[in-house]
A and B are shown apart, each in its own frame.
Chain A
Amino acid sequence: MSERLLEVEDLSVEFATEGGVIRAVEEVSFGIDRGATLGIVGESGCGKSVTSLALMGLLPRPAGRVVGGSVRFDGAELIGLDESRLRKLRGSEISMVFQEPLTALNPVYTIGRQIAEVARRHLGLSRSRARERAIEMLARVGIPLPDRRIDEYPHELSGGMRQRAMIAMALVCRPKLLIADEPTTALDVTTQAQVLEQIVTLQREFGTAVILITHDLGVVAETCRDALVMYCGEIVERAATEHLFNTPRHRYTQRLLEAMPRIRSRPLTSLPVIPGSVPEPDRLPSGCRFAPRCAHSGSRCELERPRLQRLEDSDVACFYPANVEADGAAT
């Protein structure tokens, strides 16, 4: 059994809209080892959620479809796999936690029943065994009095509890890969920290690999070993979290980190922002997609698309990367 659990290569996703075909994800490549953690960062609409849905074969049909690339999970190709085989994988080998736990749980069933349903379907457990398993999972995700909480409806739980119930549902079959799509965005900050801590703890206990999708760089710093930064459907930088934060290479990453709120020695006169706005997906620049907003772009950036290239400890798609000695324009 190889170390690599998931290998995504040149994955491209297109959406058919009224205005024509839009490419939401452009030749994205990344991988994740067994039991590892990977953060995918980017702003709204950069393709991070679409990438995760494509991995699970859950793109909204018929509008969205994978137009190229491959996704190898545990040695098997997922793209083009038939629906019934995919269904067997979903929930048992790969599962997902969603952003808004209230809408992600069915309001007419108790949480116990929803967790047990997954266990019964994939593990073939009896009703009572599935219930025991659900209670055990609720305890594992840190819900107090799980044997009573199991009979509660989603509306009776707090936001943090609901998200824990969601996590219990996602992990009840001990999947190899958990995709968490903005799992803490809808929660308040203290609850966020607890839920993240819980995900990390369970990830270690179960040896589950986690892909954490977020727009919060702080969340990635706390929980992920590796990180990718996406912009306009492309990966612009891929590195170990430590390197990404210490020596950001891509100009976009660099600006994102500068814009992160933190305690500074001198008060700011104005908030750091990245000038300009994200281009519309049907009007993407032909060269580097960040070029129009970049202070360091040259003529080459507008003509040619930069590819991910190795630069010391990082992979970066930039012609004039930051923190490079030879580069005269040191930052």
Chain B
Amino acid sequence: MSLPEIDLGAGADARLEPADRLRRRSPWSRAAGRFSTDRAAVTGLVVVTVFFVVALGVWLGWWGGNWAETGGGQWQSPSAENWLGTTILGQDIFARAVYSTRTAFEIGLVVAISSTLLGGLFGAISGYFAHSPVDAAILWLKGVLDSIPFYLFVAAVAFALDGQPFAMHIAMIATFWTTTARLVRGEVIKLKRLEFVEAARSVGLATPRIIARHIVPNTFHILLVQATIVFVAAIKSEVILSFLGLGVQDGVSWGLMIAESTTEVIAGRYWNFIAASSFMFVLVMGFNLFADGLQDALDPKRAGR
């Protein structure tokens, strides 16, 4: 059979022009483009960045180191010296709120990263080997962890670890990975039926490599969004747990500040409460805006631009 000669040489350059402008745009750069036009998301990112810098500064010892000093007078009102007043022990409330930012980020990051890694790993394994004994075991473990009331579980872990500073982290990681794993499992079950997985097998790749290199990268959008959700959930849970006395054991956190303030509020001393709850509110709000924008930007169905 003879075919009409298709000229792919000289004319090809001219025809590629429009495609050329889009050439270097990977899925990630497209997502970044969508994100940057979302005003709320960018605002969220700015807020989160500011808080992150504050937390980093505390970690590097630039500020907030004086959170435990009892120099000032008791229950001072806000002044040039103590921007948000002082506590019953004469500690600077602003310094305590700033130092607590570091506590919040430390908990958020540790819990978000660990539970995402754990959830991604277990989710990918149970999804790829769906309906096998391995999958059944992972699902069973998830079911058991999900069925224990969260605060009871944290109390149990804290008790078992006998006041270890990381008891709270471990309890949160152990409960938060299950949602991520469930989402990843569903996505992997969908992905593994696609032809590119069969194609990967047909070129002779081994199963662990197919899971790690071809399936898991296709779930990154879920992992990323889930990590941001867990980050916020961890910060909020820390506040509640510290308030209940199950959380932060050394140092200070917004939850501990709110716990201290419960008696003060009755006495008409609001600054501890206001400082801790506004810091937390602004960070959580900013992070939620950021996470929403991220979710929209990473949604391939909205990939208009």
A153 CB–B CB distance under 8 Å? yes
Q: Are B205 and A95 in contact (CB under 8 A)?
A: no
Q: Are B204 and A90 in contact (CB under 8 A)?
A: yes
Q: Are A92 and B204 in contact (CB under 8 A)?
A: yes
Q: Of B201, B203, B213, which is within 8 A of A169 by CB?
A: B203
B27 CB–A CB distance under 8 Å? yes
Q: Assuming the A-B contacts A107-B218, A193-B3, are A98 and B26 also in contact, with contact meaning beta carbons closer than 8 angstroms in the complex? A: no
Q: Assuming the A-B contacts A193-B3, A194-B6, are A156 and B202 also in contact, with contact meaning beta carbons closer than 8 angstroms in the complex? A: no
> Residues of A within 8 Å of B, CB-based: how many?
41
With both chains docked as a complex, state the minimum distance between the C-beta of B46 and any C-beta of chain A, in angstroms: 29
With both chains docked as a complex, state the minimum distance between the C-beta of A76 and any C-beta of chain B, in angstroms: 16
Provide the residues of chain A in CB contact with B204, threshold 8 Å.
86-92, 118, 121-122
0/1 string, B187-200, CB within 8 A of A gives 1: 00000001110111
Bound-state Cα–Cα, A33 to B19, Å: 42
With both chains docked as a complex, state the minimum distance between the C-beta of A190 and any C-beta of chain B, in angstroms: 9
A8 CB–B CB distance under 8 Å? no
A106 CB–B CB distance under 8 Å? yes
Q: Are A145 and B16 in contact (CB under 8 A)?
A: yes
With both chains docked as a complex, state the minimum distance between the C-beta of B193 and any C-beta of chain A, in angstroms: 9
Q: Assuming the A-B contacts A90-B202, A118-B203, are A104 and B16 also in contact, with contact meaning beta carbons closer than 8 angstroms in the complex? A: no
A228 CB–B CB distance under 8 Å? no
Bound-state Cα–Cα, A88 to B203, Å: 9
What interface size band does chain B fall in? 20 to 34
Bound-state Cα–Cα, A106 to B9, Å: 28
Q: Assuming the A-B contacts A144-B9, A144-B16, are A98 and B23 also in contact, with contact meaning beta carbons closer than 8 angstroms in the complex? A: no
0/1 string, B161-201, CB within 8 A of A gives 1: 00000000000000000000000000000000011101111
With both chains docked as a complex, state the minimum distance between the C-beta of A93 and any C-beta of chain B, in angstroms: 9
With both chains docked as a complex, state the minimum distance between the C-beta of A18 and any C-beta of chain B, in angstroms: 13
Q: Are B218 and A103 in contact (CB under 8 A)?
A: no
A313 CB–B CB distance under 8 Å? no
Q: Which of B20, B204, B217 has most A Cβ within 10 Å?
A: B204
Provide the residues of chain A in CB contact with B196, threshold 8 Å.
103-107
Provide the residues of chain B in CB contact with A166, threshold 8 Å.
199
Task: Find the A residue at minimum CB distance from B201.
Answer: A58
Task: Find the B residue at minimum CB distance from A56.
Answer: B202
Q: Of B12, B194, B199, which is within 8 A of A144 by CB?
A: B12
Task: Find the B residue at minimum CB distance from A198.
Answer: B3
Q: Assuming the A-B contacts A100-B195, A193-B3, are A95 and B218 also in contact, with contact meaning beta carbons closer than 8 angstroms in the complex? A: no
With both chains docked as a complex, state the minimum distance between the C-beta of A94 and any C-beta of chain B, in angstroms: 8
Provide the residues of chain A in CB contact with B27, threshold 8 Å.
107-108, 153
A77 CB–B CB distance under 8 Å? no
With both chains docked as a complex, state the minimum distance between the C-beta of B164 and any C-beta of chain A, in angstroms: 40
B60 CB–A CB distance under 8 Å? no
Question: In B1-56, which residues have CB < 8 Å from any A CB?
Answer: 1, 3, 6, 8-9, 12-13, 16, 19-20, 22-24, 26-27
Question: In B240-280, which residues have CB < 8 Å from any A CB?
Answer: none
Q: Which of B22, B199, B206 has most A Cβ within 10 Å?
A: B199
A258 CB–B CB distance under 8 Å? no
Q: Of B8, B12, B195, which is within 8 A of A98 by CB?
A: B195
Provide the residues of chain A in CB contact with B218, threshold 8 Å.
106-108
Q: Which of A104, A151, A170 has most B Cβ within 10 Å?
A: A104
Bound-state Cα–Cα, A117 to B205, Å: 10
A304 CB–B CB distance under 8 Å? no
Q: Are B26 and A145 in contact (CB under 8 A)?
A: no
Bound-state Cα–Cα, A95 to B213, Å: 20
Question: In A59-91, which residues have CB < 8 Å from any B CB?
Answer: 84, 86-91
Provide the residues of chain B in CB contact with A104, threshold 8 Å.
195-196, 198-199
A197 CB–B CB distance under 8 Å? yes
Bound-state Cα–Cα, A194 to B1, Å: 11
Q: 4 closest pairs, A vs B, by CB? A: A91-B203, A90-B204, A144-B12, A91-B204
> Besides the contacts A118-B204, A145-B13, what 19 more A-B pairs have beta carbons closer than 8 Å?
A58-B198, A84-B206, A86-B204, A87-B205, A89-B204, A90-B204, A95-B202, A96-B199, A96-B202, A98-B198, A98-B199, A105-B196, A109-B217, A121-B205, A153-B26, A153-B27, A170-B203, A194-B3, A194-B6
Chain B residues in the interface with A (C-beta under 8 A): 1, 3, 6, 8-9, 12-13, 16, 19-20, 22-24, 26-27, 194-196, 198-206, 213-214, 217-218, 220
7 A-B residue contacts at CB 8 Å? A56-B202, A96-B202, A103-B196, A104-B199, A108-B27, A145-B13, A169-B203
